[in-house]
A = this chain, B = another copy of it.
Amino acid sequence: MNTVVDRSLLQGATPFGGCGVLGADGVDGMDDVLRTACVSRYGQHDTIFFEGDRAETVCQLVEGAVMLYKLLPDGRRQVVELLGPGDVFGFAQGEFRDSSAETLTATRVRFYDRRHAERSCSFQRVIARQMLVQLEAMHEHAVLLGRMSAMERVARFLLRLAVHVAGEASEPEVVRLSMTRQEIADYLGLTIETVSRSFSELRRRGVIVLEKQDRVRIANQRAMEDLAIAC
């Protein structure tokens, strides 16, 4: 007596990607969750919600890319997560969102009612899975932020995007950033100048080619991996 579950709910992974997870079992509130879901479209650099907003929905990225970030009172910003199709976000522990969400590209987002989501077993399963994937990604990122040099951070960032794009059909080893230098800097815990200098240095060494400002070809995969320290 499986409920019919939109397949898109059952994808999800983290930095810019999505892979399979299963769900949909016994009798629970899944019907409610799906019945109350709705999809919205966003342009590039639109805000989906702000840190501190009341968290009445759970969001799932259907298409596009989203970043979550937090601000310090003096304006310093840290991008805490990059999300791709299938990823779930905006699920808060307390009453309010713990970070802001902004699109990196044109995007479609599905919203579920939080009350219903919390009641549904299948949904909890998907959430648990998602949170776990994101948590492990955060552990990785903590190592990057706490222990890596600027060059290592940038190399790892590019390599990671490359791996996640690899699945897609587009030319291999050409990564589309779809982030400004400032956004990359705020993700990697660096300044825009340091990110730019790192790109230039990689270009100088022939490790990458900047096809356009937001398109990077990885010319020397091996050198890249050495710089990123085991990836």
Contacts and interface: CB of A to CB of B under 8 A. Distances in A.
B142 A138 contact: yes
Contact of A229 (B74, B132, B135): B74
Given A125-B124, A138-B138, A230 B145 contact: no
Contacts of A124: 121, 124-125, 128
A92 B137 CA distance: 12
A77 B142 CA distance: 11
Contacts of A143: 70, 72, 78, 80
Interface of A: 26, 28, 68, 70, 72-74, 76-78, 80-81, 91-93, 98-99, 121, 124-125, 127-129, 131-136, 138-143, 145-148, 186, 188-189, 229-230
A26 B122 CA distance: 13
A28 B229 CA distance: 44
A145 B78 CA distance: 9
Contacts of A80: 138-139, 142-143
Nearest to A70: B143
10 contacts: A78-B143, A80-B138, A93-B132, A121-B124, A128-B128, A128-B131, A131-B131, A131-B132, A145-B146, A146-B188
Contact of A135 (B26, B138, B186): B138
A142 B139 contact: no
A131 B92 CA distance: 11
A29 to B, nearest CB: 11
Contacts of A99: 139
A179 to B, nearest CB: 15
Quickly give the copy total for this chain. Answer: 2
A189 B138 contact: no
Given A72-B230, A78-B147, A93-B133, 20 more contacts: A26-B28, A70-B140, A73-B229, A74-B229, A78-B146, A92-B136, A93-B136, A98-B139, A99-B139, A124-B128, A125-B128, A127-B128, A127-B131, A135-B135, A135-B138, A138-B138, A142-B142, A142-B145, A145-B145, A147-B189
A153 to B, nearest CB: 10
A142 B72 contact: no
